[in-house]
Homo-oligomer: A and B are copies of this chain.
Amino acid sequence: MPRATTNSDAFNAVAEPRRREILTLLTLREHPVGDIVIALRLAQPSVSKHLRVLRDVGLVRAHRKGRRVLYRTNAAAIRPLYEWTKTFERFWEHQLLRIKERAEATAQKSHPAVPNHKEET
């Protein structure tokens, strides 16, 4: 079995760094394809293909305006990724807390506020 297709869900779509850059660019305001070509220095067909993937999974919305097609990020589609990663938040915080505790314990040994006679350096 090959990898899931890039347009199967948001997780697969954002795995590609260029697509993440495109999403960032299209967040503040909508842009035509040509803007992305210039900003990311990619070939126009490449940009259109990336946009196609992002569109398929709902990460961007598009509408024509004359000859141009304006794209904008649909932030709501990123939310599931956020929610999933947030599941782990308390665990990395717990890790950081332990690291901090160990650092303080080490500092305690080197410069004890109260002399430490039980440990030998």
Contact = CB atoms under 8 A, between A and B. Distances in A.
A20 interface: yes
Given A3-B3, A6-B3, A85-B81, A91 B11 contact: no
A74 B12 CA distance: 21
Which bucket holds chain A's interface residue count? 20 to 34
A91 B4 contact: no
B27 A3 contact: no
Given A6-B3, A16-B4, A24 B87 contact: yes
A3 to B, nearest CB: 7
A51 interface: no
A91 B6 contact: no
